[in-house]
Amino acid sequence: MELNLTKPIIFFDLETTGINIAKDRIVEISILKVYPNGNKESKTWLVNPEMEIPKEASDIHGITNERVVTEPTFNELASEVSKLIEGCDLAGFNSNRFDIPLLAEEMLRAKVNFDMKDRVAVDVQVIFHKKEERTLSAGYKFYCDKDLENAHSAEADTLATYEILKAQLEKYDDLENDINFLNEYSTHNKRADFAGFIMFNDEDEEIFTFGKYKGQKVAEILKKDKGYFSWIQNADFPLYTKKVLTEIKEKTFFNKKENTLEDLQNKFNQKF
């Protein structure tokens, strides 16, 4: 079964120096771009992370410092990657919790804007775990009856993820071949940022999920405790979280200004 697409979707996988979204860097990125007509294009880069690759990470994905020393940095690749994924939805395996947040950090670090406006994300791992509770290699065997060779190679993992999603659509009648449906199904909670420090409540309002203001509305805290915004901006939070918080602040105080001007205009009209 081919995917029912209204716009291109990017399947991608990252190999990295570690699992800290805010601090670790990409050492390999593989992208498979699938178009609505079924055409595909792919690209894989090794990346110089500009930091030491720990042995623990190299033991998993096989990428050593020596292999990437002459490769381009992500700063050099960011514009090309951004252009390739522009206007596309995103998909991956554990991508909502790891690959997309870390990609966002690298993009913002390279001064290239990245957000999820006008795009959705499908996390094939979430679908898999809701249905079968397995790993990528087991999932590839279960759904596609194939052994995943070169596991933890970004390209092999990317292709396997694409094949698994198509097989999942074939297997489960209740899964709709619709990217927006798959986005909703493969999302555990509705997050404002990738890391989950800011979530949406039942009224679709942003709330903090940590610290002394856990569960409270972000807009209200920004008005009440103006120093809290500065503390987060200067603390060790992901760049995307800081970006989202800045947008909420601008929206909150811009709307306040608009309301004030509207009040003044109403008073003027009433007077004259």
How is the chain split into domains, by residue range?
Answer: 9-185, 198-271
Give the DSSP H or E segment for 206: strand 206-208
Say if CB 91 and CB 181 are below 8 A apart.
no
- Other C-beta atoms within 10 Å of 239: how many? 18
Gap between the Cα atoms of 187 and 95, Å rounded? 10
Gap between the Cα atoms of 173 and 235, Å rounded? 46
Give the DSSP H or E segment for 12: strand 9-16
pLDDT digits (tens, 9 = 90+) for 137-191: 888 998 999 999 888 899 999 999 999 999 999 999 999 999 999 998 887 678 8
- Other C-beta atoms within 10 Å of 200: how many? 13
Provide the residue-wise pLDDT of the chain in tens; the chain has 272 residues.
Answer: 899 999 999 999 999 999 999 899 999 999 999 999 999 999 999 999 999 999 999 999 999 999 999 999 999 999 999 999 999 999 999 999 999 999 999 999 999 999 998 999 999 999 988 887 568 888 899 899 999 988 889 999 999 999 999 999 999 999 999 999 999 888 767 888 988 899 999 888 999 999 999 999 999 999 999 899 999 999 989 999 999 999 999 998 876 444 444 554 555 555 44
Give the DSSP H or E segment for 185: helix 179-185
Exposed e or buried b per residue across 134-170, where buried means at least 16 C-beta atoms within 10 angstroms of its C-beta: ebbbebbebbeeeebeeebbbbbbbbbbbbbbbbbbe
Query: Looking at domain 9-185, which of 3.30.420.10, 3.90.1150.10, 3.10.129.10, 3.40.50.720 is its CATH number?
Result: 3.30.420.10
3-state class (DSSP) for residue 235: coil
- Measured between alpha carbons, how far apart are the two ends of the chain, in Å? 68
Order the strands of the 9-16 sheet from edge to edge: 40-46, 26-34, 9-16, 89-92, 121-123
Amino acid at 1: M
Return the structure tokens found at 96: 């909502």
For the chain, what is the radius of gyration of the CA atoms? 21
Gap between the Cα atoms of 90 and 93, Å rounded? 11
| Global pTM exceeds 0.85 | no
